[in-house]
Structure 1
């Protein structure tokens, strides 16, 4: 049994884990392992926003960012997904990952100017949301081996079975920084206007989660069980966070359906949300009725199927320092992504 925290990031603890040293989890899970030379990773979300059917302008933007991804210093991995937000707009988001900050920096300025640097396009919003965390500031978790997703595609490989999972608090215990730091948020979000662009300066220890499901390997009976018994409960919780998450510390939530190169839905989805703090995310996960129902449905499903379950689950959770964040919006509505945080700050100060 391995620790989720790689040996080169382990340090003397001043903050204790939630479980004793002899804790044995009831089922196996795994984490991504980067080479020790990797100091940080970059997670860059490029979104387009529009109403109704895919517009020509949106299609052109999606083709242009895909071309940039394929160019010099482009990401090691990227994927694309879409959802309809609380204001009824479709958002198509291309998510790219690097593990070389120099390559990303050489690539980003040109991509940023091309994406948000021009004037606003009628009927089309664009946004960029980037985190570039030190490797001590995020964790991953996978229910099975063989098909990495998200930032884990960049990793050198996967771990063996890890100890820190299947209990409340495991998410925090897998983040190396948690050994010595409570990772509490600090500062207030503010907006910086640059012509038509709005840049959001958030706050220290902002939290991002991407939590995914892949049912492409399931056979008829398992697929029916997932789509009938689990997915609707998951969707209910995702919709709650999308529509009513702000009071519990969730600035924005997107329940995304992954699409292929032609824009067709695949049998993969993920929830992606911005949180004021890791603690706020933990409180929702541990005690809110919407997540309690998700957890209950998932446990019933997994206990019924046991090791034969073909559903693949994963997540990545980041707690980013203030200087590891970049948010910029052009022509988007005011509840898009981290624009919500600025609205919340303004409401609290008025």
Structure 2
């Protein structure tokens, strides 16, 4: 069943990722290094990149802070080949590192959030065909009519034709070892990475973004982070950086939801998202319907049996630990 209105016509082109038939699933991991906020991030980035090596198909690096005392350096890694991921994950140096033994200078916390994403339970949308966003680094984009209406996100998930992905009433559960806290997600929870790329934006448009978009986006993130009824399990705003730790003018929000329904309900009906949506179109109007801001997101369904999520020596407000 489709949510697309009859005779639907789009006003702007939008693109979505298309995978070769021989790719059934990919791996995505968020590996975080939690260090004191006074620590220089560039040595950490270079040391972890050397550890990660060239196994991932693509890596983005970002930073964010959950409080004034710590900073988290995030490595967002995509593997288009599950076998390559397994080889990397089971290599002695990675096993040693993920068990808390490492050569990185200084004491730090480690978060590891890995999930196998089945392509038929995954969707993307991109405002441009730049081939430099997330999975588009290794798979093509094509124009999609499935946008500019409520329910388009679900329609872009191939398996939604025959599945509704009902959410579970179960909460996050944990198990522990001596050092690690493992987090187990409820069935049919979901994850979204949504990005605003200002790399090619003029100073004038960037000023409009800072004045108009960023405040309402921040309010949306704060609402989801604090409202226990929203169905948001964890959320963080991050700033992408280069290998030297310098910011790149790319802003991401990474969030887990109890279900696809919860994400849809917030998007469709809550005032904080409607404000984001409406303010973006006000910005467009200010610029005669033209913008150099590149927007994109990726959404996937998750299940505990294809995720590995744990925290080692992290503060209790880190990631999914906040809701445990």
TM-score by length of 1: 0.85
User: Larger % of strand: which?
Assistant: 2
Residue 88 of structure 1 deviates from its aligned partner by 5.4
Listed as ranges, the gaps of 5+ residues in structure 1 are 1-15, 344-350
Which residue of structure 1 lines up, in the alignment, with residue 24 of structure 2?
39
Q: What is the DSSP-based 3-state SS (H/G/I as helix, E as strand, rest coil) of the residue aligned with 1:127?
A: strand
Residue 321 of structure 1 deviates from its aligned partner by 2.7
Provide the rounded CA distance (Å) in 2 between the counterparts of 1:239 and 1:50.
Answer: 23
Provide the rounded CA distance (Å) in 2 between the counterparts of 1:333 and 1:165.
Answer: 39
Which residue of structure 2 lines up, in the alignment, with residue 93 of structure 1?
74
Q: Aligned match of 1:137 in 121, 124, 138?
A: 121
Which residue of structure 2 lines up, in the alignment, with residue 4 of structure 1?
none
Provide the rounded CA distance (Å) in 1 between the counterparts of 2:22 and 2:243.
Answer: 32
Following TM superposition, the consecutive aligned residue runs of length 4 or more in structure 1 with deviations greater than 6 angstroms are 119-122
**Residues 43 and 151 in structure 1, CA contact (< 8 A), matched pair in contact too:** no
Q: What is the DSSP-based 3-state SS (H/G/I as helix, E as strand, rest coil) of the residue aligned with 2:301?
A: strand
**Residues 110 and 314 in structure 2, CA contact (< 8 A), matched pair in contact too:** yes
Which residue of structure 2 lines up, in the alignment, with residue 171 of structure 1?
153
Farther off after superposition, 256-265 or 198-207:
198-207
Alignment of 1:158-307 (within 5 A): 158-160=141-143, 162-186=144-168, 187-242=170-225, 244-306=226-288
Provide the rounded CA distance (Å) in 1 between the counterparts of 2:174 and 2:151.
Answer: 33
Alignment of 1:106-117 (within 5 A): 106-110=87-91, 112-117=94-99
Listed as ranges, the gaps of 5+ residues in structure 2 are none
**Residues 42 and 243 in structure 2, CA contact (< 8 A), matched pair in contact too:** no
Change (3 A) 1:268 1:229: same
What is the CA deviation profile of residues 241-290 of structure 1, one whole-angstrom value per residue up to 9, with x for unaligned ones?
23x04331111111110011100111111100111111111111112221
What is the CA deviation profile of residues 64-97 of structure 1, one whole-angstrom value per residue up to 9, with x for unaligned ones?
32113324xx101001111111575322111000
TM-score by length of 2: 0.91
Provide the rounded CA distance (Å) in 2 between the counterparts of 1:39 and 1:64.
Answer: 32
Provide the rounded CA distance (Å) in 1 between the counterparts of 2:310 and 2:319.
Answer: 10
Which residue of structure 2 lines up, in the alignment, with residue 323 of structure 1?
305
Q: What is the DSSP-based 3-state SS (H/G/I as helix, E as strand, rest coil) of the residue aligned with 2:285?
A: helix
Residue 198 of structure 1 deviates from its aligned partner by 1.1
Provide the rounded CA distance (Å) in 1 between the counterparts of 2:67 and 2:221.
Answer: 11
Provide the rounded CA distance (Å) in 1 between the counterparts of 2:218 and 2:250.
Answer: 13
Which residue of structure 2 lines up, in the alignment, with residue 22 of structure 1?
7
Q: Aligned match of 1:78 in 46, 53, 59?
A: 59
Provide the rounded CA distance (Å) in 1 between the counterparts of 2:216 and 2:164.
Answer: 31
Q: What is the DSSP-based 3-state SS (H/G/I as helix, E as strand, rest coil) of the residue aligned with 1:37?
A: coil
Residue 59 of structure 1 deviates from its aligned partner by 5.8
Provide the rounded CA distance (Å) in 2 between the counterparts of 1:329 and 1:87.
Answer: 20
Provide the rounded CA distance (Å) in 2 between the counterparts of 1:322 and 1:35.
Answer: 26
Q: What is the DSSP-based 3-state SS (H/G/I as helix, E as strand, rest coil) of the residue aligned with 1:90?
A: strand
Residue 151 of structure 1 deviates from its aligned partner by 2.2
Q: CA RMSD in A?
A: 2.1
Q: What is the DSSP-based 3-state SS (H/G/I as helix, E as strand, rest coil) of the residue aligned with 2:229?
A: helix
Change (3 A) 1:311 1:24: same
Residue 112 of structure 1 deviates from its aligned partner by 4.6
Change (3 A) 1:69 1:124: closer
Provide the rounded CA distance (Å) in 2 between the counterparts of 1:116 and 1:216.
Answer: 33
Change (3 A) 1:212 1:324: same
Change (3 A) 1:60 1:30: same
Provide the rounded CA distance (Å) in 1 between the counterparts of 2:153 and 2:288.
Answer: 23
Provide the rounded CA distance (Å) in 1 between the counterparts of 2:274 and 2:71.
Answer: 28
Number of residues of Structure 1 aligned to a counterpart in Structure 2:
320
